[in-house]
Amino acid sequence: MGSVRQQPFRAAVLVLVWGWLLFLVFTPNLLVVGASVMTRDPGSFISLPLNLDAYRQLLNPLYLDVFLHSLYMAAMTTLICLLIGYPFAWALSKVPKQRQVLLIFLLIVPFWTNSLVRTYALKLLLATNGLLNNALMSLGLIEEPLKMLYTEGAVIVGLVYLLLPFMILPLYAVFDDLREDYLRASHDLGAGRLSTFIHVIVPLTLPGVLAGVMLVLLPAMGLFFVPDILGGSRNLLVGNVIKNQFLDTRNWPFGAAASIVLTLAMAFLMFAHRLSKRRIGEDGV
């Protein structure tokens, strides 16, 4: 490694990269932490003195209800994604390799397409005079159109629809690494199917489960446009609260505090993920 003078190119690259990340990642995050302990100010958004009022406000029953409801919807979303995604990833890993490529391609197409447009497509289906109601009525299954739009269920359906691929991909990765010999060894040692599943498959796929949970649970609390389009005013996410505080109510300290809680939740999940990976060994066995 040479000095700055010998390697101007290296120095330039490092300065550019560090500069960008310090200015647009590190400083902004520091600002949010700072804003969360300051006082709300109608003129300049935030002002001194420092205090923890914003965090105390998080515990206000009014907001606590919203947060718990958001957490509940996110948890249901994650659970449904896991229940659909786990067997799906398993089945996918058993498909002949050649066809897997195409199937995975079909899975990442949604990741590349506009999530707003896809949420709107769901609205087309779920509306009171929408296709699903019409289909059910013409089949004679229901007499009156069901109210599906603007409910808690619609928000959960929307979140599952948008986030399912993010659960499936990490699960597929662990199932793809799962070696047949372990399953055979477990069988040879006298374990039944259920026992093999609980003692071999579940622990070995746990990192994938946690990675999937991480990729679904947090966005499921932040994607504010889903309740805006499908949920009406009663089914808000933490993301809606943060957005309102920053763009409408202009209570920055409170919005910042809420966002820090989200970040801490992320840190916790990342920690759990690392721990689970270490438990089964670094080499991914």
Closer CB to other proteins, residue 7 or residue 47?
7
Non-local (6+) Cβ contacts of 54 within 8 A are 36, 37, 251, 253, 254, 256, 257
DSSP string, 11-61: HHHHHHHHHHHIIIIIHHHHHHHHHHTSEEETTTEEESPP-SHHHHHHTSH
Q: Would you state the structure tokens that stand for residue 233, as one six-digit string?
A: 């005013």
Closer CB to other proteins, residue 14 or residue 185?
14
Minimum CB–partner distance for residue 62 and other proteins (Å): 20
CA–CA dist 215, 81 (Å, integer): 11
Closer CB to other proteins, residue 2 or residue 61?
2
Closer CB to other proteins, residue 63 or residue 225?
225
Minimum CB–partner distance for residue 199 and other proteins (Å): 19
Amino acid at 240: N
CA–CA dist 255, 29 (Å, integer): 13
Minimum CB–partner distance for residue 113 and other proteins (Å): 5
Minimum CB–partner distance for residue 281 and other proteins (Å): 21
Minimum CB–partner distance for residue 233 and other proteins (Å): 11
Minimum CB–partner distance for residue 50 and other proteins (Å): 16
- DSSP strand pairing (45-47 vs 39-41): antiparallel
CA–CA dist 116, 107 (Å, integer): 18
The helix/strand/coil state of 254 is: helix
Closer CB to other proteins, residue 61 or residue 247?
247
Closer CB to other proteins, residue 24 or residue 68?
24
Minimum CB–partner distance for residue 206 and other proteins (Å): 19
Burial class (CB in 10 A: 0-12, 13-18, 19+), 159: buried
Distances (CA, A) of 65 to 148, 152, 162, 218: 23, 14, 25, 18
Instruction: Name the residue among 47, 58, 34, 35 with its Cα closest to residue 246.
Output: 35
Closer CB to other proteins, residue 61 or residue 148?
148
